[in-house]
A and B are shown apart, each in its own frame.
Chain A
Amino acid sequence: MNITDFIKKIETEIDEFEAGTLNPDTDLRKTTAWTSMHALIIIALIDTEYNVTITGEDLRTITSIEDLYNIIQSRIAV
């Protein structure tokens, strides 16, 4: 797993994010597309791809895709 693949997966899963528009610094919650449905799609994506549970609280603490990626990495490592 690397962050580039992770970003590609988000762009594939969420139609509103066109390929190449997201980067590690992007704050998902500040994108115009962000709604609770997007939170569900991201949570389901991470559950399916990495078998890691991300909660609503996790999404509240992150300020970038990199933060989210780091949470996933830390939980895969455990």
Chain B
Amino acid sequence: MKASIKAISYYLPEKIFSNEEYFQLFPEAIVNKENLLKIGVQERHIIDPTETASDIAVKAAKVLFSEHKIKPEEIDFLIFCAQEFDYYTPTSACVIHEKLNLPKNCGALDFNLGCSGYVYGLSLAKGLIESVGVKNVLFLTSSTLTKTFHKKDKSSLFIFGDGATATLISANNTTSGIGEFIFGTDGKGANKIIVKDGGARNSLSESSYIDKTDDYGNTTNDSSFYMNGVGVFVFGLNTVPKMVTELLLKESKEIKDIDLFIFHQANLFLIDKIRAKLEIPEEKIFNYMKNTGNTVSSSIPIVLSEAIKSGVAKKGDTILLAGFGVGLSWAATIVTL
């Protein structure tokens, strides 16, 4: 059997945090407004404090079921990609399984990755279908990163938004819609994007709440999210073009053979630099982060869903997907709709 993407839907939390509100909160950032706008975000959706990543993932799955007339009983495997889980144990996918009324003979697992997570999840789904004999994988991604932000972390508050996505990957007899993969990891960069305290390694203590301000006037502490934005930018600029080139080589394809390139929506300024390095024509790039911000593992499926909805991506199109970020971790694949 061969695996292919059958349907994608997504859910964004209701609460919107606009640029107008952002500049009211950080009036000192107004002088830098023109540069900040190059990132490509106008507004982001922020999760309600009473909701969790699994709650919005359930909502995304319900949107998928209703938009594409999918019955829960058709699902025989659930994969949940997130970084914020409901409990230390049990697995959030088991909790989601119950809320979606999925059948008892359906497998369910969580995995923890950020911006590279969607591509990794597609590789798991492909393996389950093409090697194990699973028929319909429900693959959910969810990011609620804004919950971890320090209230003075003006960079993260500008860039990121919350959101969840649901993708159905199904078996068919004829053609594989998910191609080769390139994976990469650099654990030396683990501290470049991190919430240091509050996990198993470092419990929360008084020192977790001591505020630190970096070279660029950005404040956070060890109980909150930290990102070395400049370091991550350099990582993206160096790693992504190499990964794309390697994947094209593995697939014996060239830029001209790809109909559309979808990069993790980290920052449109960065994506354009990556595009220029690879000499990809502008019309082959599709972005969608203006109304969402960087939604971590949900960013690629949101863009893909919007590309399909708007007609930019059509049946039969070959689309290169590239994710990169926290870990540091990266992955790319080529899908055919």
For A36-68 the 0/1 string (1 means CB < 8 A from B) is: 111111011001100001111001100000000
Given contacts A15-B34, A29-B215, A36-B216, contact A56 B228 (CB under 8 A): yes
- Chain B CB within 8 A of A35 CB: yes
B32 engages A43 (CB within 8 Å)? no
- Chain A CB within 8 A of B303 CB: no
Closest to A60 in B: B215
- Chain A CB within 8 A of B233 CB: yes
Interface size on A, residues (CB 8 A): 22
- The size class of the interface chain B forms with chain A is 20 to 34
A48 engages B276 (CB within 8 Å)? yes
A36 engages B229 (CB within 8 Å)? yes
A38 engages B230 (CB within 8 Å)? no
Inter-chain contacts of B205 with A (CB < 8 A):
none
Given contacts A29-B215, A44-B273, A47-B273, contact A36 B230 (CB under 8 A): yes
Q: Out of A33, A35, A40, A55, name the residue touching B217 (CB < 8 Å).
A: A35
- Chain A CB within 8 A of B155 CB: yes
A-B contacts, CB under 8 A, total: 61
* Bound CA–CA A38/B233 (angstroms): 12
Query: How near does chain A come to B266, taking the closest CB pair, in angstroms?
Result: 11
Main SS of the interface on chain A?
Answer: helix
Given contacts A37-B32, A37-B36, A38-B35, contact A56 B218 (CB under 8 A): no
A35 engages B32 (CB within 8 Å)? yes
Inter-chain contacts of B34 with A (CB < 8 A):
15
B228 engages A44 (CB within 8 Å)? no
Q: Out of A36, A41, A59, A60, name the residue touching B155 (CB < 8 Å).
A: A36
- Chain A CB within 8 A of B38 CB: yes
- Chain A CB within 8 A of B286 CB: no
Find the residue from B38, B215, B228, B276 having the highest chain A CB count within 10 A.
B215
B273 engages A59 (CB within 8 Å)? no
Closest to B34 in A: A15
A59 engages B217 (CB within 8 Å)? no
Inter-chain contacts of A36 with B (CB < 8 A):
155, 215-216, 218, 229-230
Inter-chain contacts of B94 with A (CB < 8 A):
none
For A14-36 the 0/1 string (1 means CB < 8 A from B) is: 01000000000000010011111
Query: How near does chain B come to A30, taking the closest CB pair, in angstroms?
Result: 11
B216 engages A59 (CB within 8 Å)? no
- Chain A CB within 8 A of B237 CB: yes
- Chain A CB within 8 A of B238 CB: yes
* Bound CA–CA A46/B218 (angstroms): 24
- Chain A CB within 8 A of B200 CB: no
Inter-chain contacts of A33 with B (CB < 8 A):
31-32
A-B contact pairs, 12 of them (CB 8 A): A36-B155, A36-B218, A36-B230, A37-B36, A37-B39, A40-B270, A43-B230, A44-B269, A44-B273, A55-B231, A56-B228, A56-B231
A→B interface (CB under 8 Å): 15, 29, 32-41, 43-44, 47-48, 53-56, 59-60
B→A interface (CB under 8 Å): 31-32, 34-36, 38-39, 155, 215-218, 228-231, 233-234, 237-238, 267, 269-270, 273, 276-277
